[in-house]
Structure 1
Amino acid sequence: MKYRKAAIQDLNQLVELRKKQLVDEGIEPNIDIDTELYDFFQSKLTDGSLIQWLVEDQNEIIACGAIIFYDFPPSFTNKTGKQGYITNMFTREDYRGQGIATKLLKILVDEAKELSVSKLWLGASKLGKPVYKKFGFQETNEWMELNI
């Protein structure tokens, strides 16, 4: 399997992966969001506020994960103020249980550390929650967080 960063050339695949993830989480696809997703990924990849990783098996994308970066005022618990939101975590059903999401998560966390991000958070799906807990994320009232 090949792990790589997404590029502008991957925009159409990113749109499709995001829609699959949402449907997988039980969200009804009752509106067309293709244009909005395309514009979102194009903008965020271009300005560097999103880092999206892809996993390929035999030249087919089978998993993905991303971080969206935010700047907050520095605080005593987050000196840089930089935080990252983990999103777009998706593994195709026939590839689940092989540690792919955990490896992707490690790649994302390592990348965040390199960029001086000291706090990560996410909204976990029922399916993803055990992966994040095992990795070290702690539940809060609304989010799961990992101080790194």
Structure 2
Amino acid sequence: MKYRKANIDDIDKLIHLRKKQLIDEGIEPTIDIDNELSNFFKNKLSDGSLIQWVVEDNEEMIACGAIIYYEFPPTYTNKSGKKGYITNMYTNENYRGKGIATTLMTKLVDEAKAGGISNIWLGASKLGKPVYKKFGFKETNEWLEFNIL
């Protein structure tokens, strides 16, 4: 298996994996989001705010994981204000349980360290939560969500 950073040429495959991830999480594909995903990956990969790692086996993209960088006002516990959000974690069902997600997480944490990021967070699916907890992520009650529509 080959681990590498994604680039603009990978967008179609990234869109495919993202949609598989959402369906695996139980989200019904009720609308077409291809254009929005294409724009997202194009913009974020181009400006460097998204670092997407992919895993290939025999030229097939079988897993991915990403970190998105955000900048918040500095705090006493995060002097730079920079944080990383882990997202777009997906492993093809035939490759699960082989340590791929853990290897991707290690690469993403290394990216955060290299970028001077000391705080990372994520939203975990039921399927992913055990992987992240085993890796060392802790559950908090810090986040609340408000839907305007």
Query: What's the TM-score bracket when you normalise by the shorter of the two chains?
Result: over 0.9
For residues 99 and 12 of structure 2, what CA distance do their matches in structure 1 show?
A: 26
Q: 1:30-49 CA deviation, whole Å, 9 max, x = no partner?
A: 00000000000000000111
TM-score, normalised by the number of residues in structure 1: 0.95
**What is the correspondence of 1:71-86 to structure 2 with a 5 Å cutoff?**
71-86=71-86
The unaligned stretches of length 5 or more in structure 2 are 144-149
Query: Who is 1:119 aligned against?
Result: 119
What is the alpha-carbon distance in structure 2 between the residues aligned to residue 135 and residue 21 of structure 1?
20
**Aligned partners of 1:82 and 1:119 also within 8 Å:** yes
Partner of 2:16: 16
In structure 1, runs of 5+ residues without a counterpart are: 144-148
Structure 2 counterpart of 1:18, one-letter code: R
TM-score (norm: length of structure 2): 0.94
CA-to-aligned-CA distance 1:14-58 (integer Å, 9 cap, x gap): 111110000010000000000000000000000111000000011
Displacement, 1:94? 0.4
Offset at residue 76 of structure 1 (A): 1.0
Partner in structure 1 of residue 147 of structure 2:
none
CA RMSD of aligned residues (A): 0.9
Counterpart in the other structure of 2:40: 40
Per-residue CA shift, 1:58-86, capped at 9, x if unaligned?
A: 11100000011000111111111110110
Structure 1 contact 123–142 (Cα < 8 Å) conserved: no
2:52 matched residue in structure 1: 52
User: Residue by residue, what CA displacement relative to the aligned partner does 1:86-136 show, whole Å, maximum 9, x if unpaired?
Assistant: 000000000000000000000000110000011000000001001100111
SS at match of 2:90: strand
Q: Which aligned segments of 4 or more residues in structure 1 are displaced greater than 4 angstroms? A: none
Tell me, in whole angstroms, the C-alpha distance in 2 between the residues paired with 1:28 and 1:141: 27
Distance 2:142 2:126 in 1: 14
- Following the alignment from structure 1 to structure 2, what is the Cα–Cα distance between the partners of residues 63 and 119? 24
Identical pairs, percent: 72
